[in-house]
Structure 1
Amino acid sequence: MKRIGDFFLFCSGAHVPLLRRAPTETNKYGGIGATIFFTGLLAAFSGGYALWCVFGQLWSTLLFGAIWGLMIFNLDRYIVSGMKKRNKFSSEFLIALPRIVLAILIAIVISKPLELQVFGKEIRQELIIMEQQVFKTQEENVLSRYQHRMNELNGEITLLEKGIQTQALRRDTLQKIAREEADGTGGSKVKNLGPIYKAKKADADSAEIALQRVTLENGALIAGKRKELAGIDSTFKATLAQLDRTHIDGLASQLDALGHLTEKSTPVRWANWFITILFITIETAPVFVKLISARGPYDDLLEAHEHAFIIYRKEKIEKREREYEGRMMVVR
């Protein structure tokens, strides 16, 4: 336990020999050091997970996580150790304000990868929806390249088929007129196969010949256009097969998915904010503990030590100045 306590005192950034002369302060600085240590540990997990999302390599994840955690640990330790207790809270707060802002930025950075892990299941479902939307957009973009020509061909085929149908309807009508003339149900109302019937029968035969000609000509044109449509369809499917269909699961995509979730779901948005606030609280805790804590014996010892060093430095400078003036007097 003593080694753990000494380690946390080291983490606090306090001057341990001076702190030993003020034993009542050890618990306070031990708590500050423990907070700094666990903040660095959380930063290591967060940074490692972020790199795992990008590269998926274990060794690089462990290495980067360790380096990131040590960097955050060292930065927090420097922030807290650089804060000195003053006689006025306002001056202390102004000095601590840049450090608080920096701590908040660090907290936001290290909280995001862990938020991705907390909402992992929901993010994966949202990524599937995002993938479908991306694939649909890609297909629509590809389809738009060929849609105009496909519509033209379909329109031309419709017109050609309509021409055949119109001619077939004319043929059927003329055949009906000739048949009614023959059986006396229409035309002259006289049942016979005389000249009138023969004239109407000739018109029907001409319409039949015209229908065969139109069917042959339009059929050939329709076959050519349908062949062109089949070629376009084959090209369209080949282009779709060449599209990038890789899964969207990168860090940026996960952050985007988390943003969509917070927009769509109020509970997720509040939970996201609470996690961020929790990390901000953890990260700024050492600074605020140091800021709101009362001035203790350790602060007096540290101020006395620094004051003694300042006096020693001034005496050293004055001594050198006197020696310099003495040498100048000798030269003159």
Structure 2
Amino acid sequence: MNRDYYHSPKPGKVMQWLWKAAGSDAYILKRSTYNDQVKYACLGGIVVATGFMAALAGGYAVYTIFEPKGSALDDATHIPTALMACIFGVIWGLIIFNIDRFIVAATGKGDGTEAITWKEFTGSIPRIIMGLVIAITISKPMEIRMFKSEIDAELHQTQLEKQKEYEEATTANYDGRFLEIEKGLKKIEIKRVDLIERIKKAEQDYSDQLNGKVPGTTPGNGPLSKALKSQIDKLELELDDFDETNKSELTRLNSEKLKLQTELDSELAKNKEVAGGLDGLLERIHLAHEVAGFWITFFITLLFIVIELTPIFFKMMLIKSPYDYMSDNVNELLKADQGIQIKYDYYKDKKGQERNLIINHQAKKKVDEKMMLIKAQTELSDYIIEKWKEKEKQNIDQNVEDYISEA
């Protein structure tokens, strides 16, 4: 709008878009001062920035949750998960943008002074709580992205420790079952070794007897040698019988041992998967607090809280400007155009609090017209009934016999 004393700057497309983000009235701002235009453009910029950060944080959080689990040092990007995270990030950013836009637009101008009164603050508590929740939600994924290298190193070490613990626990669970099988095999092995040792001793005695190495005996294949040979044959038959008798038991025990070893190998193969399960959002947030420490994470969260709550406190600190007065004037004109009258502090309620009286003149006019129409219709109906009664009386007077019925 051009004036002799002041020319309102022509806003660009970006500035007008930022005005919409702040929930302000572009029609009025185009006719306001440059100072007002900049203020609401800055408010819109904060809202847009918050939505953008929310999109990044939400997308990264979803990617961290749904990416394939594995070694923390594996930086390969999983494309399908990344695409899903991008879509969710955009949706989440728009949701937060819309919520912030509502919070900023719904926050009043306060009392029009730079001071934030207690009444203004308490009235903004619900919006402040909403802002705090949004800020914390945004800050946590951003924290784990900021300290990703340090978190990956710590997480890899934690995964190795978890993997070792899982291996030890799994092996311990199978040790008892292996021990029972080994006891059975050992029992059979001891008996078989004892038979083999007896056969070896008998063969040695037989060889010594044949070679004349036994003092006090006659060398050669004599009665003693034949007895030793017979003992050897008997022991070998006993060994064959022992092997035949325990063959099925040995097969069963070895089969169980092999099966148990296969199960153990299968369980141990899961240790990487179990360790990879630590690579989640919660574990990374926990490690971020350990790596960065309390104060660093606190100030990062505080930074996002300040960014998120700035528009709320900023609007409470704004002094009234031409935009506000013109906005009030437009509101009054619209109410007047629609026949709405407000008498401020017109009466007190039961608690003694002053209330405004709102008069909707157009609605009142409609009600009055409707009441008058109903009243007129009622009067006409009464008049018609009265005339009908008079006419019926005349008919009775002239033809009373027609109205009398015999019993």
CA–CA distance in 2 between the matches of 1:305 and 1:319?
24
Do structure 1's residue 279 and structure 2's residue 304 form an aligned pair? yes
Structure number with greater Rg is 2
CA–CA distance in 1 between the matches of 2:140 and 2:373?
65
| Structure showing the higher helix proportion among its residues | 1
Q: CA deviation at 1:227?
A: 2.5
Do structure 1's residue 15 and structure 2's residue 19 form an aligned pair? no
Q: 1:326 to 1:225 in 2, by over 3 A?
A: closer
- 2:35 is aligned to 24
Q: Which runs of 5+ in 2 are unaligned?
A: 1-9, 68-78, 198-214, 218-231, 341-358, 380-407
Which of 294, 315, 322 is the aligned partner of 2:368?
Answer: 322
Asked whether the equivalents of residues 153 and 225 of structure 1 are also in contact (C-alpha less than 8 Å), the reply is no
**Greater relative contact order (Cα < 8 A, sep 6+):** 1
Q: 1:79 to 1:118 in 2, by over 3 A?
A: same
- 1:38 is aligned to 49
Alignment of 1:226-265 (within 5 A): 227-228=254-255, 230-237=257-264, 239-240=266-267, 243=270, 245-246=272-273, 253-262=279-288, 265=290
CA–CA distance in 2 between the matches of 1:21 and 1:319?
36
CA–CA distance in 2 between the matches of 1:41 and 1:259?
21
CA–CA distance in 1 between the matches of 2:96 and 2:186?
71
What TM-score comes out, normalization by structure 2 length? Answer: 0.59
Q: CA deviation at 1:35?
A: 0.8
Alignment of 1:46-125 (within 5 A): 46-53=57-64, 54=66, 56-57=79-80, 58-87=82-111, 89-125=117-153
Q: Which runs of 5+ in 1 are unaligned?
A: 170-190, 194-207
Asked whether the equivalents of residues 58 and 141 of structure 2 are also in contact (C-alpha less than 8 Å), the reply is yes
Q: 1:308 to 1:238 in 2, by over 3 A?
A: same
CA–CA distance in 2 between the matches of 1:123 and 1:266?
7
Q: CA deviation at 1:12?
A: 1.4
Identical aligned residues as a percent: 24
CA–CA distance in 1 between the matches of 2:239 and 2:169?
36
Q: CA deviation at 1:116?
A: 2.5
CA–CA distance in 2 between the matches of 1:247 and 1:152?
28
Do structure 1's residue 133 and structure 2's residue 134 form an aligned pair? no
CA–CA distance in 2 between the matches of 1:260 and 1:213?
71
Give per-residue Cα distances to partners, 1:69-103, cap 9 Å, x unaligned: 22211211111111112338333223321111111
Query: RMSD of the alignment, in Å?
Result: 4.8
Counting matched residue pairs gives 317
Asked whether the equivalents of residues 84 and 299 of structure 1 are also in contact (C-alpha less than 8 Å), the reply is no
CA–CA distance in 2 between the matches of 1:307 and 1:326?
30
Q: CA deviation at 1:327?
A: 1.9
What TM-score comes out, normalization by structure 1 length? Answer: 0.70
Asked whether the equivalents of residues 144 and 284 of structure 2 are also in contact (C-alpha less than 8 Å), the reply is yes
Secondary structure at the aligned position of 1:86 is classed as coil
Q: CA deviation at 1:299?
A: 3.1
Q: 1:266 to 1:43 in 2, by over 3 A?
A: closer
Secondary structure at the aligned position of 2:280 is classed as helix
